[in-house]
């Protein structure tokens, strides 16, 4: 199975780093080859240009940026969603990983 690249965007890229660690553990446990990383909203465009991103998840604190990101991602065909607030608050890496995989269309 091809490697999945999952980009998380939050206001500073800090709070989401713990979630990235938990998502990576969940991916490893499932035998999934995944590149999961977090960036600040201001750094998102640079990463979208330099990496082949399969899905973008927004932290709940930047949900107001969803419309803006939708416009930028639509031509690239990259799915986008806001991370579930409860899953984010609980740092539930498994559920957030599943949310990303569902958006990619991969339920293996």
Dump pLDDT digits (tens) for 64-90.
999 999 999 999 999 999 999 999 999
Exactly one of 6, 7, 9, 10 is catalytic; which is it? 10
| Residue 75 burial by Cβ neighbours in a 10 Å radius (0-12, 13-18, 19+) | exposed
User: By 3-state DSSP, what share of the chain in percent is helix, strand and coil, each rounded to 5?
Assistant: 55, 20, 25
Rounded to two decimals, the pTM is: 0.92
- Measure the CA–CA gap between 11 and 51, rounded to whole angstroms: 20
Domains of the chain: 4-104 (3.40.50.2300)
**From CA 100, how far away is CA 95, in angstroms rounded?**
9
Secondary element (H or E) of residue 62 = none
* pLDDT tens track for 25-69: 999 999 999 999 999 999 999 999 999 999 999 999 999 999 999
Question: Annotated catalytic, 10?
Answer: yes
């Amino acid at each position: 199975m091809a490697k999945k690249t999952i980009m998380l965007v939050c206001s500073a890229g800090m709070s989401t780093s713990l979630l990235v660690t938990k998502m990576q553990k969940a991916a490893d446990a499932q035998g999934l080859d995944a590149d999961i990383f977090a960036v600040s909203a201001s750094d998102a465009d640079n990463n979208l240009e330099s990496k082949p991103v399969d899905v973008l998840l927004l932290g709940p604190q930047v949900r107001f940026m969803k419309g803006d990101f939708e416009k930028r991602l639509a031509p690239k065909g990259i799915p986008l969603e806001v991370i579930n607030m409860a899953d984010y608050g609980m740092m539930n890496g498994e559920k957030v990983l599943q949310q990303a995989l569902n958006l990619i269309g991969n339920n293996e």
